[in-house]
Amino acid sequence: MTEFAFDLNNIWFILLGVLLIGYAILDGFDLGVGALHLFAKTDEDRRIMINSIGPVWDGNEVWLITGGGAMFAAFPHVYATVFSGFYLAMMLLLVGLIFRAVSLEFRSKRPMKWWRDTWDIAFSVSSILIPLLMGVALGNIIIGIPVDQTKEYVGGFFNLLNPYALLFGITTVALFVMHGALYISMKTEGNLHEKTKIWARNSSIVFVILYIMTTISTLYIPHMIAPFKQTPILAIFILLSMLTIANISRTIRLSNYKDAFLSSSLSIAILMILVGIGLHPNLVISTLDPAFNLTIYNAASSQKTLGIMLTIALIGMPLVIVYFSVIYRVFRGKVKLDSTSY
């Protein structure tokens, strides 16, 4: 990690991180609830699962859309290199996103069992596929990809399926499943709640194991460790991530799902911060030659654009916080099905 100055490029590195963290915390639980969907067995329980995220999932997904747009505007070379380089993975991701959206919307609109069962499967599979692909993509960014001097990706598709990236992908799925299980535990009561408690406990165990494996694997990636060696105070984030994750397990044991969900959200943020520290000032690391890395400087838009975008963000994001506070307040509490429900 080089000198960190509060210039526009660094500000946008952070803002992009904020958008992606926001996405992971919010749509993370939507996807987790989706991944758990088939573990609910009755139609009523499945409707409760869907309605727990029904009013909020679309707004949550917008963090991804805005993140993508921000990447395009602030770091167009990264947007271009990664989206075109990971082409087939991006296409599969789009298929996942399409089916997640329409299964949610279509599922309860007809009463036939075959109709609902089919959409339930589509909903669940897509909710697992999305974080898997995103995790594999991020894993590849962390480990580095072959990028040449014209900023183009020159690997193939199968490059992307390396062990580290696959582990990172599976860990992301586990993280979101745990996060979703904690969310649904907050939103349910009765028999379904008894089930979600078990999901929460089991998924947290799986996640912790995968988190440890991923962390140890990451220790073998020199460019990820270098910033912590250079600036040891940053290791505080590693400590914080361990503490917040340990707190998830603790609060689950105490059946305090609200605090567990908050810890889970915080741990998602801290894990992303750790990734950011490791990558900075790079956004894409080239395994061919570090001179070919895409950095926050050589892959960015002009200063004027970064400035305009910052103004847009400073006006828009506080408004977004207001909208989300209002909406989550309206839909607080346990899910109860009524005539407006999915």
Q: How far is the CB of 145 from another protein (least distance, A)?
A: 11
Q: Does 152 bind another protein (CB under 8 A)?
A: yes
Of the candidates 5, 112, 216, 233, which one interacts with another protein according to CB under 8 A?
112
Q: Is 288 in the site for another protein (CB under 8 A)?
A: no
User: Which range in 49-57, 169-177, 242-250, 258-266 contacts another protein by CB under 8 A?
Assistant: 49-57
Closest approach of another protein to the CB of residue 287, in Å: 15
Distance CA 153, CA 159 (A): 11
Which structure tokens are listed for 209? 């194991």
Q: How far is CA 201 from CA 70, 169, 205, in A?
A: 36, 21, 6
Q: Which of 56, 136, 145, 181 binds another protein (CB under 8 A)?
A: 56
Number of residues that bind another protein (CB under 8 A): 80
Residue 282's DSSP bridge partners are 295
Q: What is the DSSP letter of 4?
A: -
Residue 280 binds another protein, judged by CB under 8 A: no
Start-to-end CA span in the chain (Å): 48
**Measured from the CB of residue 16, what is the shortest distance to another protein in angstroms?**
10
Helix (H) or strand (E) holding 267: helix 257-279
Of the ranges 199-207, 255-263, 277-285, 296-304, which one interacts with another protein (CB under 8 A)? 296-304
Nearer to another protein, 225 or 322 (CB): 322
Q: Is residue 341 within 8 Å of residue 54, measured between CB atoms?
A: yes
- Find, among 71, 131, 69, the residue nearest to 100 by Cα: 131
68 binds another protein (CB under 8 A): yes
Taking the C-alpha atoms of residue 322 and residue 249, their distance in angstroms, rounded to an integer, is: 31
Minimal distance, residue 95 CB to another protein, in Å: 7
What count of other Cβ atoms lies within 10 Å of the Cβ of residue 42?
10
- Shortest CB 256 distance to another protein, Å: 26
In the region spanning residues 69 to 98, those forming contacts with another protein, defined by CB under 8 A, are 69-70, 72-77, 79-85, 87-88, 90-91, 93-95, 97-98
Q: Does 113 help bind another protein (rule: CB under 8 A)?
A: yes
Q: How far is the CB of 328 from another protein (least distance, A)?
A: 9
Which among 189, 119, 150, 100 has a CA at the least distance from the CA of 291? 150
